[in-house]
Structures are given as C-alpha cells and as structure tokens.
Amino acid sequence: MLLIVDEIQRHHPGTVVYNADRFEGWSSLENAWHQVFEFNGDLQKICEKHPDGVILLGYSQGGLLARAVLQTYPDHCVKKFISLSSPQAGQYGTDFLHLIFPSLVAKTAYQLFYTYVGQHTSVGNYWNDPHHQDLFEQFSIFLPYINNDLPSTNSTLFRDSMLRLEQLILIGGPDDGVITPWESSHFGYYNGTDDVIPCKQRKIYLEDRIGLRTLDSDGRLKLITVPGVRHYEWHLNTDVVDSVVLPLLD
C-alpha cells in the first residue's frame, strides 16, 4: 500500500495518511477476528484525532477486514469506505489457494477450512464453498456473521455501523485473477451450480442484511468495474492508482 500512500501525498499535499502495517506477510493468515480487533483499536485512535471524519481504504483481504472493523465500531468516524478488490462475499478458487496452500484445491479445501483448526486461519474464515453451505454455516466463525447470513448478538450493530457511511465504494474487475469469483468484490457470489449471482439479486441485498439496499436507495452505494487490471496491479501500478483510486478521494 506504500505506492498508494505516496500517490495520495503527491497529489494531495498535506493530507494525513495512516498506513496500517499490522499482519504483513505470513501473519496475514492469523485468525480474522484477532486481526479485526487489533485494527479496531487503531481506527479508534485515528477517529479520536479526526472526529470530523476519515476515508478508509482496504485492499484484498484487508478490504474485507477493514469492513469488519468499521462494523464492530459503533461510533466510527468513517465517512467513505473504499473496498479495493476484496472478497466481500467470500472466496472460492484454486488459483487463489495455490498462492498460500499449494497442495489444496477448491473442491476439497472445505475439509481443512471447515474444521476447528481451519478456522484459525483468515482464509478459512472467509472461505465460502457454494457446494457445502451447511458446513460453512456450521463452522465459519467470521464471514456468515459479518454478512448477517447468520444471526448474532451483534447483527444490529453490524448493520447500523455500515449505515453510518456517507458512501460505500466497491471496486473490482473481471481480469483480477485472484478474487474468485471477481464479483465477490461487489458482494456477488456463486450459487450451488457455480453461476454467479449479482449482488442486487442476492439475499444480502434484497433482505438488506447489512444495509446495502438502504445505502443504494440513498445513492450511497457505488459499484465500480475496471477491466484489464490484475490483482496485484490495483495497489502497485501507478496508472491504476492514479486513474481508479485517487479520483475517489476528492
């Protein structure tokens, strides 16, 4: 994310930018809730310094965790949240798996991730196998709760905190190559026959489980599709950062 920080400061001199550098490298595999609670403390300190509001931007897994951070912070000061190629509806794809778990394939990964041990990994926490939804709901301790697919004592908090946003911007593209399906970056996802159901045709939107439908009806939800961008170009390609990300900060 250092390139994005540099470009923001180059185009917007004087802008205060905080780059959360926790859980880099292999530590990014630590349990998602553990990471969320650590980042939550960081965001609280930032909001105390900037009560008039901030823009929160998260990339890839970081965008999913950032969303959970603001959902668990009832008085957050985030005005605009930008999710940059993040698996907001989950992840299910062998190419992605091989980046971290070379011996796993998508069809059998549930045998690891939907276990007590598998739920100690961040990837396991948002692995969403469309063919084993019963096990997903039984074992997953993270994604079905922050998406309010399963009720919890925090269901109202998770929705209300999303509705504090002035704008929710979801960015992704068909050539990403890592987020699978790429529409997960827009809350779209596979059904049981591996067809992708767009966000606005899924229950999370139709039933307004986390406020997406309300945000949309208020003109506060923006879905951006950018073709021709590979996953690691979103935050490492200056042209992509300047043309896609920076205009959203104005």
pLDDT value of position 164: 98
Within 10 A of 50 (CB to CB), how many other CB atoms are there?
Answer: 12
Nearest C-alpha neighbor of 246 from the set 16, 2, 9: 9
Nearest C-alpha neighbor of 128 from the set 177, 183, 210: 183
Active site residue 231: yes
Sign of the Cα pseudo-torsion (158, 184, 203, 164, in order): positive
Q: What are phi and psi of 52, to 5 degrees?
A: -75, -10
Q: With beta carbons less than 8 A apart as the criterion, state whether 196 and 181 touch.
A: yes
Tell me the longest C-alpha to C-alpha distance in the chain.
Answer: 50
Active site residue 12: no
Distance CA 12, CA 20 (A): 19
Extract the tokens encoding 100: 């971290």
The 3 state secondary structure assigned to 81-127 is EEEECCCCCCECCHHHHHHHCCCCCHHHHHHHHCCCCHHHEHHHHHE
Annotated domain spans of the chain: 2-245
Catalytic annotation, pick one of 28, 86, 176, 185 = 176
pLDDT value of position 235: 92
> Tens-digit pLDDT profile for the chain (250 aa)?
788 999 999 998 989 999 987 767 767 789 999 999 999 999 999 999 999 999 999 999 999 999 999 999 999 999 999 999 999 999 998 777 877 787 788 999 999 999 999 999 999 999 999 999 999 999 999 999 999 999 999 999 999 999 999 999 999 999 999 999 999 999 999 999 999 999 999 999 999 999 999 999 999 999 999 999 999 999 999 999 999 999 999 7
Catalytic annotation, pick one of 60, 85, 86, 184 = 60
Q: With beta carbons less than 8 A apart as the criterion, state whether 57 and 84 touch.
A: yes
pLDDT value of position 122: 96
CA distances from 50 to 16, 58, 65, 166 (A): 10, 19, 21, 16
pLDDT value of position 102: 78
pLDDT value of position 201: 99
Architecture of domain 2-245: 3-Layer(aba) Sandwich (3.40)
Catalytic annotation, pick one of 76, 132, 231, 235 = 231
pLDDT value of position 23: 66
pLDDT value of position 94: 79
pLDDT value of position 208: 99
25: alpha, beta or left? (left if phi > 0; alpha if psi -120 to 50): left
